[in-house]
Amino acid sequence: MLRVLDMPYNELRKDYLLNRWVVIATERSRRPTDFAKPKAEITQTAACPMCVGNEHLTPPAVMLYLKENDGINVAQDPLTGERPKNWLIRVIPNLYPAYSPPKQPEDSEQIFKTEFLADAIGGHEVIVESPNHDEDPADAELPQLELVIHAYIDRLKALSAKPYVKYVSIFRNFGKEAGTSLSHAHSQVIATPIVPTTVQEELDASKSYYREYRKCVFCDIVKQEAKGPRLIYENAEFVVFAPYASINPMEFWIVPKKHSATMIDLTGAEVEALAETLKLSFKALKDLVNDPPYNYGFHLALNQEAKDYYHWHLEVYPKLSIWAGFELNTGTYINTVTPETAAESLRNAVKL
Ligand SMILES: [Zn+2]
Ligand SMILES: [Zn+2]
Ligand SMILES: [Zn+2]
């Protein structure tokens, strides 16, 4: 009995914005390096369809950055004949799209058949991030990583301009356990006719905050986290921190200091700073936990109305624990690494 009374409680924390709770299990707490394990290799039997020379194994690219004598030019694959091989970035339609463009433009008016049923109208693309098979953010050359960010922005612009698109999700799966079957460096873009739930909840909560305090909640979070124990890295443009209610061990967010609802208007200097931030953060994660699988995704707002109260950011979820019955059943989480420990380890692993 005495033992039970002596035991400190775990902390139950709520997300900054979402109605989402996580137990930070300090009693079972693990060190970040405990998660390092041998990498699960992706067995690729056939030729890599994303490598240079194999362009014919994919649908024609909807956008290419081509390296030409006068610099880098934006182009598309021809529908017939030879496809260029001098590309630096290649954006191709997904072969098995989750969301597809409407067959007739007017279909976009009728996506909702009933309150509960709509056609999955939108788009689904794959961004091949480099001609080099293994050029993932942790090891990428900075100019190449800048091109990846430019490609994100270009596709965001192109897809968000379509009348049937309400949201554009840009995300990256790395490693077999994080759900990818191809090991070539790539990201994905999915455009949807609805605003996804998590983003809508963030929009609603940040709007309420703005109504009450006349300021952006993310700007406040950035100021707070930049001077606290969860800071990992910051430069002139970005702050990297482990969020207070991280639901994944070693989770971190990259948030711009400049207030903006989307990254469509990033300047050249900001793109450079983001590339550097990505590289340093992912290299630190790779060094610390033996190149673990992860997923990352941007959160942003496309509607003009949100420009004062919403603030885009990138959320990174290392895949180091398995969500089981409790998590899947309740949407409530248990994290065995405190965000403060995660931040300290990552902060020490960042090599400038
Ligand atoms: Zn490849
Ligand atoms: Zn803001
Ligand atoms: Zn978010």
Indicate whether 73 and 162 sit together in one domain. yes
Q: pLDDT tier at 154 (50, 70, 90 boundaries)? A: very high
Checking if the pLDDT of 223 tops 80, the result is yes
- Residue among 140, 160, 153 at smallest CA distance from 265: 153
Across 30-50, average pLDDT:
83
Cα 132 to averaged position of ligand 1 atoms, centre (Å): 7
Question: For the domain that residue 160 is a member of, what is the CATH number?
Answer: 3.30.428.10
In this predicted structure, what is the pLDDT of residue 105? 64
Adjacent-strand bridge partners of 77: none
Cα 133 to averaged position of ligand 1 atoms, centre (Å): 4
Across 51-70, average pLDDT:
96
Residue 321 lies in a domain: yes
- 186 included as an active-site residue: yes
Cα 308 to averaged position of ligand 2 atoms, centre (Å): 7
Indicate whether 224 and 341 sit together in one domain. yes
pLDDT digits 0-9 by tens, 291-326: 999 999 999 999 999 999 999 999 999 999 989 999
Checking if the pLDDT of 251 tops 70, the result is yes
38: tokens are: 């041998």
Indicate whether 64 and 77 sit together in one domain. yes
Checking if the pLDDT of 5 tops 80, the result is no
Domain that holds residue 29: 2-40+196-349
- Residue among 32, 154, 34, 138 at smallest CA distance from 90: 154
234: tokens are: 């910051």
Cα 311 to averaged position of ligand 2 atoms, centre (Å): 5
Radius of gyration, alpha carbons of the chain? 21
Residue 69 lies in a domain: yes
> Among 124, 150, 184, 186, which one carries the catalytic annotation?
186
Cβ neighbours of residue 74 closer than 8 Å, sequence gap 6 or more: 63, 64, 65, 66, 154
Residue 45 lies in a domain: no
Total domains, the chain: 2
Write down the mean pLDDT value for the chain.
93
User: Which ligand is located closest to the Cα atom of residue 55?
Assistant: 1
In this predicted structure, what is the pLDDT of residue 238? 98
Cα 3 to averaged position of ligand 3 atoms, centre (Å): 40
Residue 301 lies in a domain: yes
Indicate whether 95 and 220 sit together in one domain. no
pLDDT digits 0-9 by tens, 92-146: 999 999 999 888 765 555 567 777 888 889 999 999 999 999 999 999 999 999 9
Q: Which of 192, 223, 248 is the last residue of a domain?
A: 192
Indicate whether 8 and 60 sit together in one domain. no
Indicate whether 185 and 278 sit together in one domain. no
Residue 182 lies in a domain: yes
Residue 35 lies in a domain: yes
Q: Which of 192, 215, 238 is the last residue of a domain?
A: 192
In this predicted structure, what is the pLDDT of residue 4? 59
Cα separation, 125 vs 188, whole angstroms: 6
Residue 47 lies in a domain: no
User: Which ligand is located closest to the Cα atom of residue 301?
Assistant: 3
Q: Which of 156, 173, 192 is the last residue of a domain?
A: 192
99 DSSP assignment: S
Indicate whether 260 and 343 sit together in one domain. yes
**Helix H or strand E encompassing 315:** strand 313-318
Beta carbons of 277 and 216 less than 8 angstroms apart? no
Indicate whether 220 and 274 sit together in one domain. yes
Residue 49 lies in a domain: no
pLDDT digits 0-9 by tens, 66-106: 999 999 999 999 999 999 999 999 999 999 999 998 887 65
Indicate whether 144 and 203 sit together in one domain. no
Considering only residues 336 and 26, tell me which one the structure prediction assigns the higher pLDDT: 336
In this predicted structure, what is the pLDDT of residue 108? 58
Indicate whether 276 and 326 sit together in one domain. yes
Indicate whether 204 and 149 sit together in one domain. no
pLDDT digits 0-9 by tens, 258-290: 999 999 999 999 999 999 999 999 999 999 999
Across 189-218, average pLDDT:
97
End-to-end, the C-alpha distance of the chain in Å comes to 50
Cα 260 to averaged position of ligand 3 atoms, centre (Å): 14
Cα 309 to averaged position of ligand 2 atoms, centre (Å): 7
Cα separation, 21 vs 30, whole angstroms: 20
User: Which ligand is located closest to the Cα atom of residue 135?
Assistant: 1
In this predicted structure, what is the pLDDT of residue 119? 85
Indicate whether 219 and 331 sit together in one domain. yes
Beta carbons of 51 and 278 less than 8 angstroms apart? no
